[in-house]
Amino acid sequence: MSDHQPNTIVYNRLYQYGIADAFVGGLYKGTLPLEDLKRKGDFGLGAPDLVDGELTMYDGRFYQTKATGNTAEPDGHLKTSLFFITFFKPEIFFSVNSRTDEKSLQQRITDELKHKNNIYAIKVSGKFSRMETRAFPPMEKEPFLPLSSVANTQNVFDFSDEKGILVGYYIPEYLNGINVKGFHFHYLSEDRKHGGHVLAFTGEHLNIEIAEMKSFELETSKDDNFQNFRFKTQGHEDLEEIEQRD
């Protein structure tokens, strides 16, 4: 656990605040100020307090894409309940010049990952002929419903023919629930006016930079909402059998 004190920069260590299963289960209230996250990295993504849109951190600056579609830098006192961040130092570089979509690019990236059960931070920059993103509206009434129950309230945005970047991560299967398995990207346009959680895209002349995470730091909230949250039982029969055997 961290006490949020200033520390020496450690590149390519993923710091995660919050648990994905708790967030999608309705724990939307922010408990960590964004300004505290600057001690943990310069590249990341997450959710704003009470989910008014999406959060992206790039080059050490935060951007909030609200449900209205507006993207701007939020106040540092804004809090988050879920965020993934690292000091990004890429080690793998390649380009895809031909037109490609998100599935094809994900497969191309997967081919470059030597250790499929490790965590990777990924930056993609270039021109996108089409970009589809989403952002959820503010959650206003308690008790908050699970995110799956309010999926029809999300706003979807379509952008075309603009340059921008994807900020994202690849998370292995065994961390699903704690984090979100597979690829997870947020978008920022070059002029920083557009953004959101990436649903689909088509792009070309894309430059890909990848950093393999060397370690993983997890911190959770000490507030009552998190401590009293009831997680779903995970099925690990083989492990339980071994642990309970005489």
State the average pLDDT over residues 167-190.
97
Q: Is residue 53 scored above 80 in pLDDT?
A: yes
Q: What is the number of other CB atoms lying within 10 angstroms of the CB of residue 157?
A: 19
Domain that includes residue 22, residue range: 13-227
Q: Has residue 157 been placed in a domain?
A: yes
Q: What per-residue confidence (pLDDT) applies to 8?
A: 84
Q: Has residue 139 been placed in a domain?
A: yes
| More reliable by pLDDT, 111 or 246 | 111
Q: Is residue 45 scored above 70 in pLDDT?
A: yes
Residues 6+ apart with CB under 8 A from 107: none
pLDDT confidence band for 141 (50 / 70 / 90): confident
Q: Has residue 7 been placed in a domain?
A: no
**CB-hemisphere CA count at 13 Å for 84?**
28
| More reliable by pLDDT, 188 or 238 | 188
Per residue, what are the HEC states of 198-236? EEEEEEEEEEEEEEECCEEEEECCCCHHHHCCCCCCCCC
Q: Has residue 161 been placed in a domain?
A: yes
Query: pLDDT digit string (tens) for 5-21?
Result: 446 899 999 999 999 99
pLDDT confidence band for 85 (50 / 70 / 90): very high
Q: What per-residue confidence (pLDDT) applies to 238?
A: 61
Query: pLDDT digit string (tens) for 27-38?
Result: 999 999 999 999
Q: Is residue 158 scored above 50 in pLDDT?
A: yes
- The whole-angstrom separation of Cα 209 and Cα 33 is 28
CATH number of the domain to which 24 belongs: 3.30.1330.80
| More reliable by pLDDT, 102 or 143 | 102
State the average pLDDT over residues 165-179.
97
Q: Is residue 142 scored above 70 in pLDDT?
A: yes
Q: Is residue 114 scored above 80 in pLDDT?
A: yes
Q: Has residue 243 been placed in a domain?
A: no
| pTM reported for the whole predicted model | 0.92
Q: Has residue 25 been placed in a domain?
A: yes
| More reliable by pLDDT, 79 or 7 | 79
Q: Has residue 135 been placed in a domain?
A: yes
Q: Is residue 237 scored above 70 in pLDDT?
A: no
Q: Is 42 left (phi over 0), alpha (psi -120 to 50) or beta?
A: alpha
Domain count, the chain: 1
Q: Has residue 239 been placed in a domain?
A: no
